Amino acid sequence: MAEDAGYIKYFPVSWEELHRNGRALAWRLMELGPFEGIVAVTRGGLVPAAIVARELDIRHIDTVCIAAYRDDKSVGEVNIIKGLDIPNKGKGWLIVDDLVDSGITAKYVRDMIPEAHFATLYAKPKGRPRVDTFITEVSQDTWILFPWDQAPSFAKPIVEEKQS
């Protein structure tokens, strides 16, 4: 459960909201480009990177594959599954991820390509200093439920939840 890792709030994001925020991110990045390419941080950065790539007409997309979360949603040991071979320390490149949380994953990516511009849809206070551009800030104790983490189900009326 997310509560085990200190998350007490949930912030559900719909596909429409994710797409809207991806386009908003592209608007902010447009004046900073052009970019030679995008590095998507997998897995969460794949969908936002695709949206940004479309909106900015970027065809060169690479991935850096990193795993840091444990099953209980806490941050564990960072596992670099696939690194990068980007020239010039990433100068002229754009890193895209869905979220910067603790900043641990972002630190590893920054160390690989320190000159790249780092952009995320969502940022939490601990990780925010590691990114250059983001759309929405959420509190550190909030777990963001991305569309790929959700399924439609019955929701109790608020009055019933309060009685529990």
pTM assigned to the model: 0.85
For residue 65, name the pLDDT band (cuts at 50, 70, 90). very high
Find out whether 95 and 117 touch, Cβ atoms under 8 Å: yes
- Cα(8)–Cα(160) distance, rounded to whole angstroms? 19
Is residue 97 part of the annotated active site? The answer reads yes
Domain range summary for the chain, segments of one domain joined by +: 2-163
Distance between first and last Cα of the chain: 18
Provide the pLDDT for residue 75.
Answer: 61
Note the pLDDT of residue 144: 95
CATH of the domain spanning 2-163: 3.40.50.2020
Of 57, 72, 85, 101, the active-site residue reads 101
Find the catalytic residue in 4, 71, 98, 132.
98
Q: What angle do CA 43, 88, 45 make, to 5 degrees?
A: 10
Q: Is position 98 annotated as part of the catalytic site?
A: yes
The whole-number pLDDT of residue 67 equals 86
Name the active-site residue from 72, 97, 111, 149.
97
Catalytic residue check, 4: no
DSSP assignments along 102-147, one per residue:
SSHHHHHHHHHSTTSEEEEEEE-TTTGGG-SEEEEE--TTEEEE-G
